[in-house]
Structure 1
Amino acid sequence: MSRLDQLYRRILISRLFTKGWGKPENLKRLFDCRKIISNREECIKLIPPDYPVHVDKDVMMDDHRLMEGHFLSPFSLYMADVMPKEVEIARFQMIMPKSWNSKLKPICVHLGGTGDHYYWRRRTLLAKPLLKESGIASIILENPYYGVRKPKKQLRSALHNVSDLFVMGGALIMESLVLFNWCERQGWGPLGITGISMGGHMASLAASNWNKPLSLIPCLSWTTASGVFTHGILSEAIPWRVLQTQYHEEQVYATEIKKLIQSPEDVVKAYGVEVSQGYPESVEELTQILSNLRNQNKDFIKKTYSNFKTDACENAMSLLKQVGTNNFLALQSNNDSQSRKVNEKSSTVSNHSNSNLRYISPVIERDNNSMKAAGKSRYLSLSYALAKTQIGKTKKSKAEEKQFSNRISEEALKFMRDVMEEFTHLGNYSQPVDTSLIIIVAARQDAYIPHEGVLSLKQIWPEAEVRYIESGHISAFLFNQKNFRQAIVDAFDKQIKKYY
């Protein structure tokens, strides 16, 4: 574990999820949404190829062409009551050549990592050098909850609720599809997507839903975010007392929402692999299990998809194309009849999410070797995570403290792990169309993104290439931007050689 990662975290004072898990009804709806958008065949239907994108600025700079634009996030049409108003408008900046000198017009979408507000960082470190060195243009998409999309009451990058992270992920998946479609309409391509840290993971989620070959370059990210928030360095930024108290006092988290998640051990047993015999050792067996688990969602999707694709959403989409984003938002806030339609749609989805369906989460935490290692690693235990995050520190007797901490704190920690696996584990999402176009750049001593005890990206996507940097998370970001850019160039080269 990198000492620089630990030191850097101590310098920062930001706290995450200070308002708790998020409204239970929102989490239920997000569970429904995740089942839809994690299935490429259904998700792609939610984004029309001609979804409107507006260019606000198009100027020639000294050495490049700069464009800025916006569009209404499709996520807001389907999850209107879950997405804050300040977050609804997706904004982007594009760095491209003044003129293209070949029939190839490569475009890479860049998603932001934690704390990456506005465009300047990605523009300076990645977009401009990529254009100058390799002729690859870039679209820099502003993350929901960041920059101009940050809610007024949010302090810096500190998301208020755990559920906000899932809104961000769902929105970025849909917004990336809008940009891919827009690029194709302009005659640009080949296409790719990248990001660093959280941005890399969001890029992986988005790439899983594009129905064509796509270069994917996730940097300093991994298979799931569960370890990030339970035993990674960021777990120290979480107010565990707030989460444990909310989990304990609002029974709906334990009695209803928890039932929507199935543990990895139960999933493995359900498919005939005894835990005592170890987790799947072969890639073929693992792939088959993940495929079977994904198929469990098909009946659910058939029942739920119609609730997303309502007349209200289709009418809103039609109106959006006719009047533009700004006029649409004005009509949306002033026109009572339009508001009622959106509310009817929201009510339909909300009512459905109260059903007694049990969801299966295709999450397998360990293969046989990593499971053995997990038994020896203090970083993977709940007791270690409890100690690191200082959960359950109360003015009780030692006996009471131990009993309370073990019962409540461990439950909250496990709930955090499980909901993160449900929403962020790449095993829950469709496999990208061509995984040979994926180049992963990871840091071996990463204290922010733990690799131990979970499936590796190589196991999820066998044909992907993994490149390791011998450093921690922070030093990899500070001193290896050139390696990230080279991975982007190489991933595009692979796509060009194979498809162009």
Structure 2
Amino acid sequence: MVTIKLGMLHYVIDHVYGAFMHRTKITQPFFSRGWGGHNLELLERIVKQLFPLEVQGQNWPPPLVRPVWKTVWETKTATLREGVFQTPCCHELAAALPPESRTARVAWLVPKNVPPQKMACVVHLAGTGDHTYDRRLRLGGPLVKQNIATMVLESPFYGQRRPFLQRGARLLCVSDLLLLGRATIEESRSLIHWLDTEEGFGKMGVCGLSMGGVHASMVGSLHPTPVATLPFLSPHSAVVAFCEGILKYGTAWEALREELAAEKITMTLDEVRERMRNVLSLTDVTRFPIPKNPDAVIFVAATDDGYIPKHSVLELQKAWPGSEVRWVTGGHVSSFLLHNGEFRRAIVDGLDRLEWKESW
């Protein structure tokens, strides 16, 4: 009889799930339409501008969004609303977004009968393939009892914002990944600014799982005032996910190579992968500023994650002295299913490490 250690079992589950999702012909691979041409050049330029502009404080405040709300349901203790607003991205970015993605959508679960200045609100960002509000509302729902509101942003390219030709979460071009990330950052920052200046919440936070955790790290890094920053099962860069982790098996490397060949650029597949590393290095969060309150940064990582290696989590912790890493036993898939309690505990603890707004 062969005995498989529990940690190895979690790792195997990740790879079995990954093989089913990414090595079969059931769905098209990521980036089946190539690099993205002009959009990729535009986004590389705009993302490179991000760092000096933000460090110098020249890109604040963001455009103030004013969502139009409708009530979905309410009880004696909480209200769920859904809202829409036009993406606050600059004209160049908004024009690069597919028409379906230019209207942003949010769900907002708020405790009743509590003044905003005595509440916290956490913006929850989507992981890869999270097209609906449901999972993130389930994560944040129990926190209503602790006067913590949950705002769930629907990502560009997902849900009702998904382009007509895209199937599921399989982005058509590499540029779509950068565009999704930059638009998510801009929309999240505008929402947090709205919660602060218009609604008067006493504390704010941002969290996300996997890809959503990368975006949460970026938002927390760039915000000019302290926010709780809570990345779950998250790498320090998209390079890890698409060039090292299981998603590399679901990437259309041959299509990317063929597009370069059409441009008279001859590359081996290894050279194509290296070019992908260079492009996705723009998403390396270790290049971003240290958040204003690194004590309120809590990473939750899995011990046997087949998608996110341990070194990636530790690289970001090292870049942000004062931040904390908490380990849960499991893989990427099993932790996503089994450790919501640990994620909630990190949200509560991160918020507790912030002072209430009046004393900032």
* 1:101 shift after superposition: 5.9
1:194–1:203 Cα contact (<8 Å) kept: yes
Amino acid at match of 1:117: H
Amino acid at match of 1:173: I
In structure 2, the CA distance between the partners of 1:65 and 1:453, relative to structure 1 (3 Å rule), is closer
Amino acid at match of 2:302: A
TM-score in terms of structure 1 length? 0.65
Aligned residue for 1:410?
270
1:148-297 matches, within 5 Å, as 148-184=160-196, 185-251=198-264
2:117–2:200 Cα contact (<8 Å) kept: no
* 1:44 shift after superposition: 6.1
SS of equivalent to 1:223: coil
Residue 146 (structure 1) aligned to one of 122, 138, 158: 158
SS of equivalent to 2:176: helix
Based on CA coordinates, which of the two structures has the bigger radius of gyration?
1
Q: Which has the higher contact order (CA 8 A, sep 6+)?
A: 1
SS of equivalent to 1:456: helix
Distance in 2 between the 1:43 and 1:85 partners? 32
* 1:74 shift after superposition: 2.1
Residue 426 (structure 1) aligned to one of 278, 281, 285: 285
In structure 2, the CA distance between the partners of 1:40 and 1:476, relative to structure 1 (3 Å rule), is farther
* 1:85 shift after superposition: 1.1
Give unpaired runs (5+ residues) of structure 2. Answer: 1-7
Q: Which moved more, 1:463-472 or 1:35-44?
A: 35-44
1:76–1:88 Cα contact (<8 Å) kept: no
Residue 459 (structure 1) aligned to one of 318, 330, 338: 318
In structure 2, the CA distance between the partners of 1:434 and 1:127, relative to structure 1 (3 Å rule), is same
Check if 1:7 corresponds to 2:16: yes
Distance in 2 between the 1:22 and 1:83 partners? 12
1:50-449 matches, within 5 Å, as 51-58=64-71, 61-62=74-75, 63-75=77-89, 77-100=91-114, 103-124=117-138, 126-132=139-145, 134-184=146-196, 185-251=198-264, 408-421=268-281, 423-449=282-308
| Superimposed CA distance per residue, residues 301-329 of structure 1 (whole angstroms, 9 cap, x where no aligned partner) | xxxxxxxxxxxxxxxxxxxxxxxxxxxxx
Amino acid at match of 1:172: T
Length, aligned pairs only: 343
In structure 2, the CA distance between the partners of 1:420 and 1:192, relative to structure 1 (3 Å rule), is same
Amino acid at match of 1:420: L
1:208–1:431 Cα contact (<8 Å) kept: yes
SS of equivalent to 1:160: coil
In structure 2, the CA distance between the partners of 1:47 and 1:458, relative to structure 1 (3 Å rule), is closer
TM-score in terms of structure 2 length? 0.89
Aligned residue for 1:28?
41
2:286–2:315 Cα contact (<8 Å) kept: no
SS of equivalent to 1:221: coil
| Superimposed CA distance per residue, residues 111-133 of structure 1 (whole angstroms, 9 cap, x where no aligned partner) | 01011112111112x1211213x
* 1:455 shift after superposition: 6.2
**Percent of matched pairs sharing the same residue:** 36
Amino acid at match of 2:278: D
Q: Which moved more, 1:446-455 or 1:88-97?
A: 446-455
Distance in 2 between the 1:83 and 1:159 partners? 13
* 1:102 shift after superposition: 7.8
2:302–2:330 Cα contact (<8 Å) kept: yes
Distance in 2 between the 1:211 and 1:446 partners? 32
* 1:454 shift after superposition: 8.5
Distance in 1 between the 2:137 and 2:56 partners? 29
1:36–1:43 Cα contact (<8 Å) kept: no
Amino acid at match of 1:72: Q
Distance in 2 between the 1:248 and 1:43 partners? 40
| Superimposed CA distance per residue, residues 388-424 of structure 1 (whole angstroms, 9 cap, x where no aligned partner) | xxxxxxxxxxxxxxxxxxx611100111112111x21
SS of equivalent to 2:325: strand
RMSD value, Cα? 2.3
Q: By percentage of residues, which structure has more strand?
A: 2
* 1:20 shift after superposition: 1.1
SS of equivalent to 2:255: helix
Q: By percentage of residues, which structure has more helix?
A: 1
Amino acid at match of 2:329: E
Distance in 2 between the 1:441 and 1:161 partners? 30
In structure 2, the CA distance between the partners of 1:11 and 1:209, relative to structure 1 (3 Å rule), is same
Aligned residue for 1:262?
none
SS of equivalent to 2:118: coil
Amino acid at match of 2:174: V
Q: Which moved more, 1:67-76 or 1:172-181?
A: 67-76
In structure 2, the CA distance between the partners of 1:424 and 1:70, relative to structure 1 (3 Å rule), is same
| Superimposed CA distance per residue, residues 74-129 of structure 1 (whole angstroms, 9 cap, x where no aligned partner) | 225232442111111111010001121684210000001011112111112x1211
* 1:235 shift after superposition: 0.7
SS of equivalent to 1:74: coil
1:47–1:174 Cα contact (<8 Å) kept: no
